[in-house]
Structure 1
Amino acid sequence: MALRIDLRDGESVVVNGAVLCASGRARILVQNRVTILRGTEIMLPEQATTPARRLYFACMMAYLEPEVEAYRDDVLSLYEAIFDTFVGEEAKLSCGKLATFMATGDFFRALGVCRELIEYEDGILERMESAGAQAAA
């Protein structure tokens, strides 16, 4: 069964490392196994500004270029740093899922877990900023 991807005008998608951008509405049918990321799943290097975002970026690169061992090494070292830093039960459960996907080389599913960790991290940063603003007032 083919994977159907519907793109809006100007939306981009990465297919096996090639960046494709839709000019007008487009529908792509993928008939075989390829690495695909839609525009909303793509993170630019300059967007990897926090530990969870750096982990997402490393997982994304490991998914897009599985033959590059350095990306998997980056994923492992960033994972270890996050696992040691995040203490919440929700984050630890996500880290457990992430470890499973990393162990099987399923970096696409690892990206979904990284998005959970980014949300968790954003919540921590928001609370810290709020506490800092209240202390300054």
Structure 2
Amino acid sequence: MPLKIELKPDERLIIGNAAIRNGPRRSSFVIETNTKFLRESDIITESEADTPCKRLYFALTLMYLADDPTLAENSFVEQSNALMEAAPSTRPYIAAIYEQVQGGDLYRALKRGKDLLAYEEQLRSLLANKDAPVDAS
């Protein structure tokens, strides 16, 4: 089934092994074959993977895009185990990701990975607010 994609000006997209950047205007096109693709909003680069959950998401990205995901899958399992040990509250999120990985649906695993990133951001916000100085006036 064809997939229509709309790109914002200057938005990036990965299709297969090709990285594409849109021009200065909105554009749309149709992908007519089954291929791997990621929109810019779904991409985290290695340098942006600066938290445990972002590193896990980056490993998922590599698994999804790789022709042979074995190396990235090993990294994903190691990171998942370490993250669940350090932060047990991440277990339901990681279990949902792993369920998709086991089912072979790495794109949906990435979507579940976004839920984990949102959860991590919630935790970071709570910690930041907890450490904020209290106004005693």
Match of 1:3 in 2: 3
1:101-116 map, 5 Å: 101-116=100-115
Structure 1 residue 71: Cα displacement: 0.8
Structure 1 residue 129: Cα displacement: 2.0
Structure 1 residue 118: Cα displacement: 1.2
* 1:134 alignment partner, SS class: coil
Structure 1 residue 130: Cα displacement: 2.0
Which deviates the most, 46-55 or 125-134? 125-134
1:13-28 map, 5 Å: 13-23=13-23, 24-28=25-29
Unpaired segments ≥5 residues, structure 2: none
* 1:28 alignment partner, SS class: strand
Across the two proteins, how many residue pairs are aligned to each other? 134
Structure 1 residue 109: Cα displacement: 1.0
Task: State how far apart, in whole Å, the 2-side matches of 1:4 and 1:109 are.
Answer: 18
1:15 is aligned with what amino acid? I
Structure 1 residue 102: Cα displacement: 1.8
Note the aligned Cα RMSD (angstroms): 1.8
Match of 1:74 in 2: 75
Match of 1:51 in 2: 52
Unpaired segments ≥5 residues, structure 1: none
Matched, 1:99 2:95: no
TM-score (normalised: structure 1):
0.88
Residues 69-103 of structure 1 show CA distances to partners (whole Å, capped at 9, x for unaligned) of 21111111111122223333xx4322221121121
Matched, 1:61 2:62: yes
* 1:83 alignment partner, SS class: helix
Q: Which aligned runs of 4 or more in structure 1 are off by greater than 3 angstroms? A: none
